[in-house]
Amino acid sequence: DGGITQSPKYLFRKEGQNVTLSCEQNLNHDAMYWYRQDPGQGLRLIYYSQIVNDFQKGDIAEGYSVSREKKESFPLTVTSAQKNPTAFYLCASRDRDATNEKLFFGSGTQLSVL
Amino acid sequence: ILNVEQSPQSLHVQEGDSTNFTCSFPSSNFYALHWYRWETAKSPEALFVMTLNGDEKKKGRISATLNTKEGYSYLYIKGSQPEDSATYLCAFPHQAGTALIFGKGTTLSVSS
């Protein structure tokens, strides 16, 4: 079945540690996105990629990094510079980065700081 | 950063009640308005993507309307069922071809 797979489901980070969240899609979508959700907040955009080898910062990119070396993969690294990383992270994709294209979402990763 | 506002923040209704929520967005430079449903322990799923002023879309007991001139959309649920319990998100692209800005959502709880 086509879809978006995020792993791991739960992740714990130690102080000063970088961690990477995986997002893989087999929908052949060009555009991929990372959102963060905090309690009482809407989904906030971290990074997005319209095409392989290209990505743009979203509203809250500081302390995060991404790569898009393959069409199906868009990993997110939470660096030690992100001082408040505890949140729920959602990856999404769509056929192309166009306003009338709906998003497909993964099941999310809950990141917590030890 | 442009804001998408949703109201109410949460809502509790009885099975069989009809209900509606509001999404407000900037009326200038409108491109599209998205509605998503996010059930607990599941991934958000698209309900509607609306692009034209006056658009009305329907999916089963759920429908949505769009007023781009005044910058709002309504989501209606007729005869709510417990399985309708979820958070309903609306989203708006602030530029053509860019990522969506999401509202905080309306959380609906339906009691049987």
Q: Where residue B95 falls among pLDDT bands split at 50, 70, 90?
A: confident
pLDDT tops 90 at residue B45: yes
B 46-65 near A (Cβ less than 8 A): 46, 49, 51
Chain B residue with CA closest to A95: the answer is B97
CB-based contact (8 Å) between B32 and chain A?
Answer: yes
What is the per-residue pLDDT for B103? 94
- Express as a percent the part of chain B with pLDDT over 70: 96
pLDDT (mean) for B58-62: 97
Q: Which residues contact B12 (CB under 8 A, 6 or more apart)?
A: B108, B109, B110, B111
pLDDT tops 60 at residue B43: yes
User: Which among A42, A58, A107 has the least Cβ separation from residue B99?
Assistant: A58
**Residue A30 CA neighbour count, 13 Å, CB half:** 11
Q: Mark yes or no for CB contact B4/A42 under 8 Å.
A: yes
What is the per-residue pLDDT for A2? 73
Round to whole Å and give the CA distance between A51 and B66. Answer: 31
pLDDT tops 90 at residue B21: yes
pLDDT (mean) for B83-103: 89
What is the per-residue pLDDT for A105? 97
SS3 letters for B25-83? CCCCCCCCEEEEEECCCCCCEEEEEECCCCCEEEECCEEEEEECCCCEEEEEECCCCHH
The residue with tokens 């993964």 is A106
pLDDT in tens, A55-111: 999 999 999 999 999 999 999 999 999 989 999 999 999 998 888 899 999 999 999
What is the per-residue pLDDT for A114? 83
Residue A71 to chain B, least CA–CA distance (Å):
17
Radius of gyration for chain A, computed over Cα atoms and rounded to the nearest angstrom: 13
What is the per-residue pLDDT for B3? 83
Q: Mark yes or no for CB contact A42/B43 under 8 Å.
A: no
